[in-house]
Structure 1
Amino acid sequence: MDYPVLSHHGGTRGVTGSCHRLHLDSATSLLVDCGLEQGADAPPEAPSTPLGFDIGGICALIVTHVHLDHVGRIPALLAAGYQGPIFCSKPSAKLLPLVLEDAFRLGISSEPEHVASFLERLHRLITPISFDRWHCLVERVDLQCRIRLRRAGHLLGSAYIECDVSPVGAVATRVVFSGDLGAPAGSLLRPVEPPVRADLLVLESTYGDRLHPDRSQRQSQLEAAIDRALADNGTILIPAFSLGRTQELLYELEDILHRKALRVGAGEDPVDWGQLPIILDSPLAQRITQVYRELHEFWSDEARQRLGAGRDPLGFGQLVSIDSHAQHERVVNYLRSTGRPAIVIAGNGMCSGGRIVNYLKAMLGDARHEVLFVGYQVRGTPGARIQACEGMQGDVGVDVWGERYVLRAKVVTLGGYSGHADQAGLVGFAMGGKSPAKRVVLVHGEAGAKRVLADALRKRHPEWAVVSGVTIA
């Protein structure tokens, strides 16, 4: 067999569970991500172990970013006996324990001693490495392997992986794992730079069959929603995931409020925007946002310029953080019973649980309020059912959380907030280097999205060998 050889332990049935294995020789391999397969992507039969595969020969785990569909099986990996390094970027090294602690408490055990034991093992294995520098993983007489992290623009610390594998003295085979690639104009993050070359490109395909709406209009649409809330004395409810989307929203809200305050100071706007509270009601999102603030050296140039001008894009004065459940209940009751406008960002993003549910139950029946969706709602979730009522007039019945609710609140969806590259971005990533990849393996996407993206890639480069990943258990 000619090495290196690629196999998969997830991320090929759909858009979750990314877990790819690069076999360097018959006895040595690397694991890139170890994500959780969720929903329809989960295997129809239960795996023989919670991890779903044997860990023999794995010398290192490399993490592209810390969303659960890329890291959610790490607790099972450690439970299976893995003791090797977990390589990732510095921001991911800070964020990974927060994400996995929360997942461990909810999905495995909330016993303090179990959580502490898991976190101690995790911290011992995490090995942060710098962007854009080669790091040697294997250096033997017969084999060399080195990796490099490059910015992927998906969320803070996200990376794509370049991996060079070669017998000593021979020309290296370069394998590139895209992880999840970000969309352009993510103002808080630095942009993606495509790989110079790739002999094998393992490419995500989440939005391989579509183009995103114009992102340049999203802030003006968000501003218009705030204007409506002020006019109606209502609350804007924004369901958002704690990692990535919440921080992008805070960044844009700070800019809107900053510009509005300048207009008030100039006498151009009679509304006192300085009195509009932005309520962040998610303890996990607060912890993650604090890590984002501490790691501002990884922000975009524009974001760091705001800091240099004395602004705090993720910690501005009108941001109110809600910690305890008792505080949460008081805020819900206050906003329901008063006529003071506010913006609430709360989890979870699909409205299937978390604190956003209590806000929605209390306010869906009041026309003063507005539910603002900034992310994709999976079919069948409460968020999708509410979103389906967008544009309907009068009293609308909606079945969510096991009950029927009357919906009078406005429902609005804002495009342009996707954290993933669209088809144009994916093709640009594959074509953007000095030479196209020799072979492309599509993962992390539905079958239809992969087919459309494969056709788009072949149109640009007819000689391309484009295949869909095949799961090897």
Structure 2
Amino acid sequence: MQFPALSHHGGTRSVTGSCHQLHLSPATSLLIDCGLEQGGEAAPGAEFAPIGFDIAGIEALILTHVHMDHVGRIPALLAAGFRGPIICSVPSAKLLPLVLEDAYKLGVSSDPVQVERYLALLQRLVVPLAYEQWHCVVEQGGLACNIRLQRAGHLLGSAYVECDVRIDGAQSASRIVFSGDLGAPGNPLLRPVQSPERADILVLESTYGDRLHSGRSDRQQRLEAVIDRALADNGTILIPAFSLGRTQELLYEIEDILHRKALLNDGRQLPGDDPLQAIDWSRLPVILDSPLAQRITKAYRELHEFWNDEARQRLGEGRGPLAFDQLVCVDTHVKHQAVVNHLKSTGRPAIVIAGNGMCSGGRIVNYLKAMLGDPRHEVVFVGYQAKGTPGAVIQASEGAEGFVQIVLDGELFEIRSKVMSVSGYSGHADQAGLVEFVQAMPSPPRQVVLVHGEPRAKRALQRALEQVLVQSNASTSVFIAL
């Protein structure tokens, strides 16, 4: 084997399970991400399975971000005996224990002593690393490896990883770049992605390598139109959303909508003949019913120094983009059930954000059971719904003739509520964004290795990259990881 070299322990068959090993020598390596396979590609019991590869010689685990498909196998890695540093960005270091504590309680044990022991071990191993600073992870005789984290724009703390590997006798260092998940442009909270200076090998995600996103520029206006309609119907808007990333984006944009409505409605009258002029926007509750999402949102607020300029400017103006007056946080199950019953029995409009994002579990299910049968209410999807999930069934009823039925917790329910999908909230770059990430590099990479995508998406991105690289006279080879 010629070093440095790559092997993959996930993220090659689908869009989950990212886990890549960078071999620096026969006995020394780094692990980039340690994610859990999810969805249809996951084997039964994947969350409890042993790590599945030899961890001897792994000097460090480097995390691109803290979504479960990139960190979900860390408990298995620790169980296998790994005690090396877990290196990640400063925001990721704060978010990682929240995400893994919740997963540990759900999948391993909720015993307080075990949870505390697990979190204490995790905290001892985590090494926060500032963006844009080189950090030495390996220095053994004639072998050295330095890494640097750069913003990836996917969610707070996300990074792509630059690895400079110098092997004794080589004239220069080899640079291997792992993209992690790259964000789409226009994220309301995050700073934009900047492409690497160079890469000998670029390991690139391909989640949306076969498509282009639409609707990002006007997604907030379409969300506002949904709120207008729900207010007119005295109904509740149910938004199934994942706790990390999507929820915080939604809160940020809802706060902006309500802020502008309050300015328009100064004096309790909207201009013109607007039928909503009698509505007091200041009394519209925005209900965040997810304990994990609340803890993560609190961490996002504390990490405001990592927000983009516009978001930090709003803080400077005295606004609370993630902590506004109309935001109601529901923590206990007793309060949750009381809110469900109240909204079902009254005609007061509200916005509810609850997990999980695909309606396959979590508190959103109780809201759906209570409200799907009432046309006053509306279910709004802002994220992908995997085939076979309750969310996909509900989403498919949008525009359907007659009433669609769905089974929730073993009971049959008719979908009489309105259903709406608001596009433009994807956290991943599309094909154009991925190609631009490569094209914008001052020096084109020698190799691009495509991971983290369905086979069709990877093949489409491979063709698109080959086309633009040939046009620019680059001698880059584009491979699909196996």
Aligned-residue offset at 1:348: 0.1
Task: Please give the alpha-carbon distance, in whole angstroms, between the structure 2 residues aligned to 1:388 and 1:211.
Answer: 21
Q: Tell me the residue number matched to 2:206.
A: 205
Offset at residue 281 of structure 1 (A): 0.1
The alignment status of 1:11 with 2:23, answered yes or no, reads no
Secondary structure of 1:386's counterpart equals helix
Q: How far, CA to CA, are the matches of 1:466 and 1:131 in structure 2?
A: 28
- The Cα of 1:84 is off from its aligned counterpart by 0.5
Mapped partners of 1:42, 1:238: distance in 2: 26
Tell me what 2:479 maps to. Answer: 467
* TM-score, scaled to structure 1: 0.97
Aligned partner of 2:416 in structure 1 is 408
Shift of 1:401: 3.8
Secondary structure of the corresponding residue to residue 362 of structure 1: helix
Alignment of 1:320-469 (within 5 A): 320-462=328-470, 463-469=475-481
- Deviations along 1:215-273, one digit per CA (max 9) or x if unpaired, are 01100000000000110000000000000000000000000000000001164353311
Q: From the superposition, tell whether residues 403 and 309 of structure 1 become closer, same or farther in structure 2 (CA, over 3 Å).
A: same
The answer to whether the 8 Å contact 2:47/2:73 transfers is: no
Counterpart-to-counterpart distance in 2, 1:349 and 1:317:
25
Show the counterpart of 2:95. 95
**8 Å Cα contact 1:332-1:359 kept in structure 2:** yes
**1:192 corresponds to which residue?**
193
Q: Which segment drifts farther, 169-178 or 359-368? A: 169-178
TM-aligned CA distance change 1:183 to 1:153, over 3 Å: same
8 Å CA contact 2:36, 2:46 repeated in 1:
no
Task: Give deviations 1:327-359, integer Å, cap 9, x for gaps.
Answer: 000000000000000000000000000000000
**CA-based RMSD:** 1.5
Q: Which moved more, 1:402-411 or 1:227-236?
A: 402-411
Cα distance in 2, alignment partners of residues 213 and 368 from structure 1: 28
Equivalent residue for 1:127? Answer: 127
Measured against aligned partners, the alpha-carbon deviations of 1:306-336 in whole angstroms (never above 9, x if no partner) come to 0011101000000000000000000000000
TM-score (normalizing by structure 2)? 0.95
C-alpha distance in structure 2 between counterparts of 1:356 and 1:391, whole Å: 22
> Is 2:69 the partner of 1:86?
no
Deviation at 1:141, TM superposition (A): 2.8
Counterpart residue number, 2:274: none
Query: Which residue in 1 is equivalent to 2:156?
Result: 156
**What is residue 243 of structure 2 aligned with on the other side?**
242
How many residues end up aligned between the 2 structures?
470
**Counterpart amino acid of 1:92?**
S
The aligned residue for residue 183 of structure 1 is 184
**In structure 2, distance between residues paired with 1:45 and 1:348:** 20
Give the drift of 1:48.
12
Shift of 1:431: 1.4
- The CA deviation string for residues 37-94 of structure 1, in whole angstroms up to 9 with x for no partner, is 1233235898996111110000000000000000000011111110100000010000
Kept after mapping to 2: 8 A contact 1:181/1:204 = yes
Give the letter for the 1:469 counterpart: A
| Preserved CA contact (<8 Å) 1:457 1:464 | no
Query: Which residue of structure 2 lines up, in the alignment, with residue 165 of structure 1?
Result: 165
Task: Kindly state the Cα deviation for residue 214 of structure 1 after the two structures are TM-superposed.
Answer: 2.7
List alignment gaps of at least 5 residues for structure 1. none
Specify the code of the residue in structure 2 equivalent to 1:254.
E
Aligned mates of 1:387, 1:208 — CA distance in 2: 24
1:417-466 superposed Cα distances (whole Å, 9 cap, x missing partner): 00000000011111111021110111000000000000000000133311
Using the TM superposition, name which of 89-98 and 460-469 deviates more.
460-469
Secondary structure, counterpart of 2:321 in structure 1: coil
Q: Secondary structure at the match of 1:215?
A: coil
C-alpha distance in 2 between matches for 1:85 and 1:396? 51
Q: Name the SS of the counterpart of 1:405 in structure 2.
A: strand
Mapped contact 2:390–2:406 kept (Cα < 8 A): no
**C-alpha displacement of 1:393:** 4.4
Where do residues 35-114 of structure 1 align in structure 2 (5 Å cutoff)? 35-42=35-42, 50-114=50-114
Which secondary structure does the structure 1 equivalent of 2:218 belong to?
Answer: helix
Which amino acid in 2 is paired with 1:203?
Answer: L
**1:139 alignment partner AA:** E
Closer, same or farther: CA 46–92 of 1 in aligned 2, 3 Å: closer
Contact 1:282 1:355 survives alignment (8 Å): yes
Q: Indicate conservation of the 8 Å contact 1:385/1:399, yes or no.
A: no
Equivalent in the alignment of 1:268 = 270
For 1:130 and 1:301, the matched residues in 2 are separated by: 18
> 3-state DSSP class of the match of 1:461?
helix
Matched AA of 1:53? F
DSSP-derived class of the 1:290 partner: helix
